[in-house]
Amino acid sequence: MEFRLTPEQKDFQERARRFAQKEIEPIAAQVDEDGKIPPDMNEKLAREGFVGMLIPRQYGGTEAGMLNCVLAFEQLSYPICQCFEAMGNNIVGRAITLCGTEEQKQRYLPLLAQGRLMGSYAFTEPGTGSDPKSLVTTARLEGDYWVINGTKRFHSMGHQKGPAIIFANVDGTKTTAFLIDKLGEGYRCSKPFDLMMGRGLETVDTRFEDLRAPKENVLGTVGGGFNILFSITAEGRLTLSAVAIALAQAALDESVRFVRDSLVGGRQNGSLQTTKWLLAEMAMRIPPARVTAYRIAWLTDTGQDTRMISAVIKLFASRIATEVTDMAMDVHGLSGLVKGSKMERIYRQAKQFDLTEGTSEVQRTIVAGSVLMQ
Amino acid sequence: MEFELTEEHKMFQKLGKDFADREIEPVADEIEKESRVPEDMLGKLAAVGLLGIAAPERYGGLGVGFLTYILAVEQIHYPCTPCSWLLVANEFADVLSRVGTEGQKAELLPPVVEGHMLPSCSFADEIDGVGPATLNTTAHLDKGHWVINGTKRFHTFGHVDGPTIIFARTGKGEVSSLLVSKNITGYTSSKPMALLGLRGLEIVDTYLHDVRVPEDSLLGERGKGLEVAQMVAVASRLRQAIQSVACAQRALDEAVKYSKERTRRGVPIASMQAIQWLLAEMAMRIEPARWSTYEVAWSKEQGEDTGMQSAMLKLFAARTAKEVANMAIQVHGCYGLTKDYRIERIYRQAKMFELTEGSKDAQASIVADALLAR
């Protein structure tokens, strides 16, 4: 039992914090404004070892593990600028590591670890939301090729070169994961959606029209798609939770700074107790979320099942993100509404966690199912 | 970082659970009805070693850390009776072993560990309420004795034989803590108050009228009373946090049980989305509260200052208990109002955690001051 980060983990956390301060903080407002990530960002992230943390060393990764990955996500998202899309490679890399063939690993993992390819995954469809049992996308075997047809919605990084894990039905019932090289023949994508939050994090619709993928591009087994999906989503929920926790922390820190600064002018004196009460309400929500996220990362690293508990933290971290930022706005008053202020940017980010990587309604269904089964 | 309880921790969890199942659960209804904990309960807890978890071995204790104590409290409080308050012997031992003299430890710890005496501690004074900094109780030296005068309110077990820690002003701007036997001339108590919940928890007012104790009854150094008070407060916040967690867990378990039994048009209400939504909301709060409590207890065990952390935690855990109990009674519908269901009692007790041992507003103030002082 050791609830403290090890010296190595602290070093790693510190490295991520310094990177965020040096490379992300200065451009955060601009990225939010333009919706464009500097082209060299992926390379910088890769150089620091933030994109291959769940990829084995023999394939060029760092094997840093999920806890370090969570620490990195938390630190890198603290400036409130999601320009670390290359970090999605961690999760895609892990799925290929766990389920891929030797040939798939050699083909994709080194390039993913270097940030030269952008991995992504997509299961949501326009008609089915996040319900994986009613996929419409199909794949049928024709000779040495799978022929894939269908549409995937909200496919983050779906328009960037690299492997996408997409889920499709084979013979009507066998949900199967495929590794697809994006932007090839038969692969079309829309322009990125214009989003309220996460400027810089780009998501598109992708359409497959008789897309031909070599026979050996099945990830895992035919009909084994759900297991891969559950593993990917568990990790996606956890890393997204880390981003939500960082957001809440940033909102708290901004509020403390604001209250302190405004105390100098004596402006807050009349309402001091209500302000203090808000600060405490914000602060008390963060440590329970953080310790739970770290614990689940540790469970992942030690090979334990996190499918249910990752829904718990996703639900909880999303909730605190919206609650804490809402209270932070109350602390800021009208100043929080002004575009260009960090608080305004923070507030726009908060709702995404309730909605992406499975809405909170989906998470509740998972948690309730598990509670009722016990 | 290692998020796993040790074998020793698990052993104490099991010890606590077995005891609760065997000795408390069968009499839980009776305790509530009679507003009385069976007289032999303290002796039974002592017999299995649960009163001496934190006391050093030299004085008859087991000398295992504070987290182990917290784990035991969690199990003992699962039936949601006041019996878990009898374990405060451990908190007394925790404080005494750090600031007590050799003589005090040798005299008081063995009978406390064996359950012959029930220690207590009181913060609240007659007029100024909580906050030892504004004490009315005074003590002055007279012929080698401290002469103590004042009134202590809401003093749990203030009328039961054993030592109590009294905070008193011993000079201008000087607060000291004193060990006082509750069976001494000049020390009287009111009858136990009738309470909203946790019936059987005996809380009294205590009157000190020219109580004389030897000069060496000082606990810790003269003038260092507030430090002792802080020590006591941290321990009791952590205990209340885990009692809140146990209370919330029981509320969830009662709701799950009820939702599986109760049918509507032939179908268990557990299959309804509105009920599942409530169950998920409950589970989502308990997990972070529990692990956050373990973490802070562990930090305290390592000797870290957890003044602010424990205040945040208590605020959060008490909120969790109240919200979860509220949702659990909602699952029960009108049946939840009847004494036929355990949830009625749990609902009444859940609010108490926000009021006792420092109200939620007191905790909020501590947290906010710490945030602003950084």
Instruction: Name every residue whose Cβ is closer than 8 Å to that of residue B371 and which is 6 or more positions away in sequence.
Output: A252, A256, A279, A280, A283
Q: Which residues in chain A have Cβ-Cβ distances shorter than 8 Å to B267?
A: none
Residue in A with minimal Cα distance to B293 = A288
| CA B250 centroid distance within chain | 17
Runs of H (alpha helix) within A6-101? 7-19, 28-34, 41-47, 66-77, 88-99
The C-alpha torsion from B305 through B310 and B313 to B318, rounded to 10°, is: 180
Known catalytic membership, residue A357? yes
The CATH fold assigned to A226-373 is Butyryl-CoA Dehydrogenase, subunit A; domain 3 (1.20.140)
Name the CATH superfamily, with its identifier, for domain A7-113.
Answer: Acyl-CoA dehydrogenase/oxidase, N-terminal domain (1.10.540.10)
CA distance A368 to chain B (A): 5
CA distance A270 to chain B (A): 16
Tell me the one-letter amino acid at B306: T
List the single residue in B279, B296, B372 with the smallest CB-CB distance to A368.
Answer: B279
Is A117 within 8 Å of A161 (Cβ atoms)? yes
pLDDT in 10s for each residue of chain A, 374 residues: 788 999 999 999 999 999 999 999 999 999 988 888 898 999 999 999 999 999 999 999 999 999 999 999 999 999 999 888 889 999 999 999 999 999 999 999 999 999 999 999 998 898 776 666 678 999 999 999 999 999 999 999 999 999 999 999 999 889 999 999 999 999 999 999 988 886 777 899 999 999 999 999 999 999 999 999 999 999 999 999 999 999 999 999 999 999 888 764 555 544 578 888 999 999 999 999 999 999 999 999 999 999 999 999 999 999 999 999 999 999 998 889 998 889 999 999 999 999 988 899 999 999 999 999 97
For the residues B345-371, what does the mean pLDDT come to? 90
Chain A interface includes B256 (CB < 8 A): yes
Q: Which residues in chain B have Cβ-Cβ distances shorter than 8 Å to A256?
A: 371-372, 374
Q: Which residues in chain A have Cβ-Cβ distances shorter than 8 Å to B279?
A: 367-368, 371-372
For chain B, which domains are there?
7-113 (1.10.540.10), 120-223 (2.40.110.10), 226-373 (1.20.140.10)
What is the pTM assigned to this prediction? Answer: 0.93
**B172 pLDDT tier (thresholds 50, 70, 90):** confident
Supply the pLDDT for residue B363. Answer: 86
Does B284 sit within 8 Å of A312, measured CB to CB? Answer: yes
When scoring A302, A318, A327, A371 by the number of chain B Cβ atoms within 10 A, the one with the most, hence best to mutate, is A371
Supply the pLDDT for residue A352. Answer: 93
Token pair, residue B208, equals: 């000190």
Is B203 within 8 Å of B192 (Cβ atoms)? yes
CA distance A257 to chain B (A): 8
Q: Whole-number mean pLDDT of chain B?
A: 94
ipTM over 0.85: yes
DSSP code of A175?
E
A167 three-state secondary structure: strand
Supply the pLDDT for residue A270. Answer: 43
Cβ count within 10 A of residue B295: 24
Supply the pLDDT for residue A340. Answer: 85
List the single residue in A284, A291, A364 with the smallest CB-CB distance to B276.
Answer: A364
For A120-223, CATH gives 2.40.110.10
Annotated domain spans of chain A: 7-113, 120-223, 226-373
Which tens digit of pLDDT belongs to each residue from B340-350? 999 999 999 99
Chain B interface includes A371 (CB < 8 A): yes
Q: Which residues in chain A have Cβ-Cβ distances shorter than 8 Å to B280?
A: 315, 363-368, 371
Instruction: Name every residue whose Cβ is closer than 8 Å to that of residue A303 and which is 6 or more positions away in sequence.
Output: none
Does A316 sit within 8 Å of B367, measured CB to CB? Answer: no
Q: Half-sphere exposure of residue A230, counting CA atoms within 13 Å on the CB side?
A: 12
List the single residue in A284, A288, A365 with the smallest CB-CB distance to B276.
Answer: A365
